[in-house]
Every structure is written in C-alpha cells, then in structure tokens.
Amino acid sequence: MAKDKKYMSPREKDYFDKVHRWGIMWTIGAILMLLSIPVLICVKLGVLPDGEALKQVLPQLMTLYWLTAIAEVIAYVPMLGAGGTYLSFVTGNISNLKLPVGLNAMNSAKVKANTEEGEVIATIAIGVSAIVTTIIIAVGVVVFSLFVGPEVLQAPSIKPAFDFVLPALFGALAASYFEKYWKLVIVAVLVGVIVLIFSPSMGVGTLMFITIVATLAAGFGMYKLKWI
C-alpha cells in the first residue's frame, strides 16, 4: 500500500485530476478556436467552402491524419505527462521540439516522467518552449516579411544550420543516455537502421513504434541478463 501511496497519494491523485480537468477545458477552447478560423475566413471572404472538393479530399486526409493521430497520442502521452500533453497537442511540432524539450528538462532535473516531479518539470519546459516558439515565429514573420525578406534564412552561411537541426538535436539527446544505457542505445539505433535499409522512406511515426517495441524488449532482456 505504501508503494501505491508513493505514486498516487490522494494529494497527487488530486493534482493529476486537476491537470486533466484544466487540460480538457483548454482543449475544448482550442478546438473551438481552431474551428472558428475557417469559419471566420469564409465569413470575411463571403464564400462557402467547395463542398464537392471537401467530399473528395476530407476522407483522404482524415484516413491519413487520424490514424497517425492515434499512433502519436499513444506514443507521446506516457512521455509528455498530463500537462505536457495538453500543451503539446495544441501547439504541435511535438516530435521535433516539445518532446525533446520535455526529455531534456526531466533529464537535467533528474526526475522521471509520470511522477509528480516529472509532470511539473515537463509542463514548465513545454510551456516555455511553446511561448518561445510562438514569439519567434510571430516576430520572424513580421521581420522577415516586412523588413529583411525570407531569403535571408536561405543564405549559404546559415542555411546548413537549419537543414541539419534534427541530427544536431537528436544526436545530443541520444548521447545523454550513453553513460548508463550505451548498449541499449546501440541496439535501438541498429534496429532503426536495419528497418530503414528495407524501407528507407518509412515515416518516423511508424519507425518509432518499431524501435520502441524493440528497445523495450532489448531493455528487458538486458536487465534479466544483468547487462544493464
């Protein structure tokens, strides 16, 4: 019982319940806001969307996006925590920004996901990241479209930095697990590489599922063999 208490004390349960309540309210607000965008555009332009076009296009898009959404929700929620999830799914760019930011913050603060400590640290990190991203995009759009011109971002002197932002980001993140779990990192990356040899264009969402399952199995095996 003591153990259960440690992870879900009444106070902790209360806090998580509150986060879910707040999260659901904000999510409903976000859905209403999102839906109002095309409505306002239609009202302002005095047009209705092309119903025939939507009838043909929406089933295609919904099949693609909604299936991906199920995979993303299942993969990300246990990692992001409650507050982090509600924030991340509204602001988007999860895999390339919110998730690494959350992982980095929990690593640095030496707290684990799904504990209350992990929950608050990840939420603060993702909240800060959402604010900074929104401000950078807003300021960038105004500055680059009005004063500088977006071609500056394409200058050969700085373009490579942004072309290679993902290997720079995930290389550092992978290395943060080297010290304790280097065997597991090697196995996980090898699995990903081998899968990509046979299916080089596989989307990261699908690939992630394979590498997570393989790494969990490898981790369990190595633990039993006392390799890690």
Partner 1 sequence: MAGDFKSDKIMFMIAAAVIVFVIVQSVFFIVKSWKRAKELGISESTLKSTVSSSALFTVAPAVSILATVFVLANALGIVLPWIRLSVIGNLAYETTAAQTTLDYWGIALNKAVTDPQQFATIAVAMTVGSIAPLLMIPFLCKFLQKKVGFAMNKESDKSKDAETSDKPKSNLGDVISASAFIGIVSAFVAREINGRTVATTNRLDEFGNSIVNAEGAIEKVKNITGSAGVVSILVLICSMVFMTILTVVCKKFKLSKLEPFIMPIAMFAAMGMAILFMNVLPESITGITWYEIGAEV
Q: How far is the CB of 147 from partner 1 (least distance, A)?
A: 13
Tokens of 45: 């332009």
Residues 103 and 119: their CA atoms lie apart, in Å, by 11
Nearer to partner 1, 31 or 147 (CB): 31
Q: How far is the CB of 202 from partner 1 (least distance, A)?
A: 8
DSSP 115: S
DSSP string, 117-174: HHHHHHHHHHHHHHHHHHHHHHHHHHHIIIII-GGGGG-TTTHHHHHTHHHHHHHHHH
Task: Find out whether 18 and 122 touch, Cβ atoms under 8 Å.
Answer: no
Q: How far is the CB of 143 from partner 1 (least distance, A)?
A: 10
Q: How far is the CB of 152 from partner 1 (least distance, A)?
A: 10
DSSP 98: I
Q: How far is the CB of 106 from partner 1 (least distance, A)?
A: 9
DSSP string, 7-51: HS-HHHHHHHHHHHHHHHHHHHHHHHHHHHHHHHHHHHHT----H
Tokens of 7: 């992870």
Q: How far is the CB of 172 from partner 1 (least distance, A)?
A: 4
Task: Find out whether 108 and 46 touch, Cβ atoms under 8 Å.
Answer: no
